[in-house]
Chains A and B, each alone.
Chain A
């Protein structure tokens, strides 16, 4: 449960409250026999705020984007194989130029 979930729940609660307020407003209108044109100002503010919160939550909660480029930093294989006995260092890679920029990400 991160901050995104909290925001989403908060936004949902705001929307629910806005719905309830609008129902009440319509009931009042029915008594005073006025026509409904649009919800009152504070309800609209609640709606917009709830929408903004939920949008934030909807963008933050799903998994982070992962890079699709094979050469990016994130996709470098950093874990060592489980069995180190089979690692060889005496291979033709020694003859190739080593890349000084290459660093293991921790």
Chain B
């Protein structure tokens, strides 16, 4: 009980985080996002999206992915991350290049020939 009380007192002053676990969590998010950006690129290409539609599709998939990550974190962000941004935007723009490449690849294979 005393330990818990002191612990609460400290974390009220300054947030103490387990930084190795945080890095591992963020890595896990990057992995999910990269994989999903590749897969969503392939899907967008086969579907035949062009122009703005493809980017909208990408954002949509990323939003669903954020939702999935939220479920994976059992809806308690602060147990696993230091801020909401980690789940919502981490890795979204990093995956954009992969998305565009695989979108182009799948679109070309399926549609332009």
Chain A residues in the interface with B (C-beta under 8 A): 11-12, 15, 18-19, 22-23, 26, 36, 38-39, 43-44, 47, 50-51, 54-55, 57-59, 61-72, 75, 96-97, 99, 101-102
Contacts and interface: CB of A to CB of B under 8 A. Distances in A.
Nearest to A97: B2
A45 B64 CA distance: 18
B5 to A, nearest CB: 10
B4 A99 contact: yes
B46 A66 contact: no
Given A47-B46, A70-B17, A97-B2, A62 B80 contact: no
Interface of B: 1-4, 7, 11, 16-19, 21-22, 24-25, 27-29, 31-32, 35-36, 39-40, 42-43, 46-48, 61, 64-65, 68-69, 71-73, 78-82, 106, 109-111
A15 B68 contact: no
A19 B106 contact: yes
A15 B39 contact: yes
Contacts of B18: 66-70, 75
A42 to B, nearest CB: 13
A55 B110 contact: no
Most buried by A among B24, B29, B42: B42
A50 B43 contact: yes
Contacts of A55: 36, 39, 61, 64-65, 68
A76 B25 CA distance: 18
Contacts of B46: 15, 18-19, 22, 39, 43, 47
List the 10 closest A-B pairs by CB distance, nearest first. Answer: A66-B21, A62-B31, A62-B28, A58-B35, A65-B80, A54-B39, A68-B17, A59-B68, A68-B18, A63-B28
